[in-house]
Structure 1
């Protein structure tokens, strides 16, 4: 037995591709369609209960197959009979008609046990069985004429209904009732009450009523009283409602099936037979096909929210299933504000519909429409306007119309209001102007006070010269115009550019340097940092460096426009003082009591060094004692050459390190960074600073010992977030996953030319640093500070990742953010730390070696 292995997704694609007809367009039922079995041979007459589907299968002759659902495979029922037809399923039971003993009999199969039982074995015919709950019914000719037999599965008892059924199709069965087409008249619908044993006539119309189906108390059938057949319904629990017509299309609707609120039938209104459904909770007028198709769809069966049918005829027939998504149509409602005013009147419409609509169709009454949920519309011509809204979803649509809702009067002079950001700053100053009111004007004219103008509602303007400027905006409203002026609105200061010099930058300690402020732009305040802990607020201070070392010097200059900082790393170099001794040596030997020593003093040596030191010489002699070997004799004192103690030079103070080596982190005993670490990107723009007291850990939570900072090629930067454009600078800090508490600081520092391109090419203050979240694939803003006076943008770094600088994109495109060309070539390699000290150290070593050789030239 070949299993049906089509998965739900694959089957859905096959169903849509094979079933959908390009000639059939329109609405379809909401839900999912899957194939149950599309194997070779025919698959016909399906039935369904819950998740179990049964059908006739012609792949190996006529056999009964069943499936537990889409993708669950198919199985053949036990037994090797032939001519098996018309299966029916309910719970654990499957019944069918089988021509095993030269005439059709009824067979019964339990899915859970796999046992097949013959319910009849009579030479007369028994055919078209239906099972529901604990009962089975079928047509039976044992009495010599056709009757209906009701079989009790639990007791095995049989009850004949004493009727004359029309056997074109199966009888119908529910928990309490048996329903069939009786041959009275042209065919009527009759009912048998299993509990009471009574029979009732349901229809008495002169036309034919056939093919009944029942669910609890609701009965549906195919009815010919209107000529072409329609689908009708009768509710036993609501007999006063009478026989209700479900379909009224002039074409044919036949073979209905019902379960609960869902009815399915064959419908020819689209040309070929298609399966249509009606959800009674959405209204009997809501009738849609499950999947419009050029292939015939026959014999539908319903269970809960599922429909199965035979797709095609003969050898090409297959079995498909559809799961219906139930719901209700929306109810349309909306509001509008304002409802009246002079032309041009800007009205905002708000959808207030209930029922989860999926589409909106607005008619504003002046020939204009919209499909937005909450649109705005401008009424330019005076008059009264009727507005309507139609909302729809998969279950229906609804329309609401409001007559003379909008009343538009003659044009009125506009009320003008505008704003600018920023309103002050150093030249050149780029200002964003926004025409907030009126938003209904038809024309705008800006006068920026420096001879320049613009006709855009929202625009940008650059002030190149310092000064105070008036700004005016003139708006036109359908011929009525007005002007509003803000006096002394924009203030532009001279650009502050801090710089300085020193009269001496290199020398030995103590070194006194005179610093001169060379800043431009009219600085009024100064704050010097000399790099050794000393500061000054004078314009031109004098400072003395006591200890050797290399010192950074920083000047922060300020005025009314703001402040700026000039920093010169390693600007002052202080060497240790050179010490060259000039010794004068006098030696007086110590006499021995028994031996008169001969002492040869060392001659006086005079050296004239840069600085003179006089060491104290120490005579070295042997202690008194006995004579040596050879003649051996009494003790005495041997003549000796006096020796010298080498003078100790003054220790050279070492400057306290202010920063760790670039890229490495120095951690204290507590695990916190105890020396400031700075690392620069190769292009010199990005700098990462990790301050003292920060806890730095890698992705595994271990103490972090080293960091990296690399630039990212702009072509490799992921797409910018919607409201921003990439400013041309990006870097990645590693190792990835490293974390800092409190945050480290990432800064982008620019030359004047670079800053002008990045800052003045965007809305000032609109720069922001964002971090790329690799797992989410999105950019995320981080706390950012824009420092125009320092030409710098700084950001907080909690986690290592890719970081990039973005600029706010203007709302109307009046200005464009341009990515700055850095204008710098990558540095071949980092400069050796303290390279400027190497020549001095070499000179000091050579001088010391020469002095040592000179002083010791009289020794052996």
Structure 2
């Protein structure tokens, strides 16, 4: 996977090396182009006119989009399209997210939401990740990367559990599983590709064609892959590195595509045109795809069949990303004004095209289904996956579905040129006893609360019975119900079809609140200063916020605070409680009585040792009476302490008078011991 450096400030101007893929297509369905021996099915993914820099993994495409803004100032957010479900999802709302990359269930991108002038990060970025399996967004970088934080430019990539970002000989690796960030400095790599433990890129500091250098994260070892001095635009997948290599023959510049196998340490030249400028090779599984700058062609090389195919006069502008047999790119439209993301499926014309039908496609369990192969291209092998864990290699199998469910069926057909797969999502429906499920909105609020209930049951129920928990029921599929009294309500739904019935119960699902009633107690309510008082909230009505006023100028928002009264007096305490329905306050006048301490303390102390050579460490022990609360020591050598029983070191010879002042709420007293400590040289 190549590192993504499509920051909007630079990438929109980077269309010098462009490649056009002229294809006739519609927004909804794919159009087919066949030229030379490569067939491309092109589908328009976006219609916003503001989508660019796509990345693809599996059946998901992500891109950067500045809809409702402009390509210079944004706002910029990340969007995703699921090829299987045909659903578009907005991933970010920060309005400063750029350069997305997807790997598995994880999307990573650069985000400028935290940059500011105060910490010299204005225009800087952080690395963020979104996990599609948990729907959780995570900030990866602990501090914002300044705009000039990586000399050449800042890029980002992800492979497995690792995220890579950086540039100009300085990179950071973040391990998602251990949450550990590792710096990789002084590695002579620019514009790298990243897979597993391997980072590979050109070694020229300005990113010009040079030699390829590989860095192994597991061994921390650098290895020079090429020695031509003219390699550029590398990519890597599993053990295979591919790149373009510049040549000049008879005053004609051209470039060829090369491959290096890490397992065999063998370099292989893929092309030998001697006249065409090839560039931007990408590899996914057993296929290598690259671009032809001279004629605007896309080439594909199949490592398994060693077959090279290409299209003629195509128009993919602004680079591409590649996974499996799918390529995604930005079509900038007329004069780069309204870009959209497109996807093409690359298929050699010699490959078979998988297709099938089935009958019946729905019914009760157990259900026997006849599958009919309708593939073209003379396939020789068939592999069916019926979606219930079973498979078949027959051309036209019959399969029995024993359990209720919705099944996705997949057929892979193969001939001498390769394989092709077709997947029909949720193709077979086997009915059984329904499974009750529902949602509601809102699920909480103040009286009276009107709630809309929505049936989400599976299994095609034909009857519904709702119990709202307040003594009322309904037989509608999606009823609306009004709760008139405060309380927590348990809701039950029973659904029925010809196969049976099923019930789901959600305990305490609906919370209806009324205005709270404030109440509290305290212990103790009287005593001598300083007095610690524990306050206990006894309010009713599902309180969510508390505000205490202790009458001495201090407040608290805890539910059950403890407060110290330091001065004598009578204190009025007020508690204000809040929930979604409103606010209520209770005040208890002169509730806390604090009396003064009866007498001032009598200061006293002793120290040990009282004499010795310098430096002399003396431990002083306070023995005052009358419960002092603070102490001040004068050691006679210009030093002092406020500890209760300090340890002091006398550094110079001399005779020292020691003084202790002890204080409580009633007053203070001082004890002086003249010529108490004697320190000899």
Q: Give the structure-2-normalised TM-score.
A: 0.41
More helix by share: 1
Asked which structure has the greater RCO (Cα within 8 Å, sep 6+), the reply is 2
Larger Rg: 1
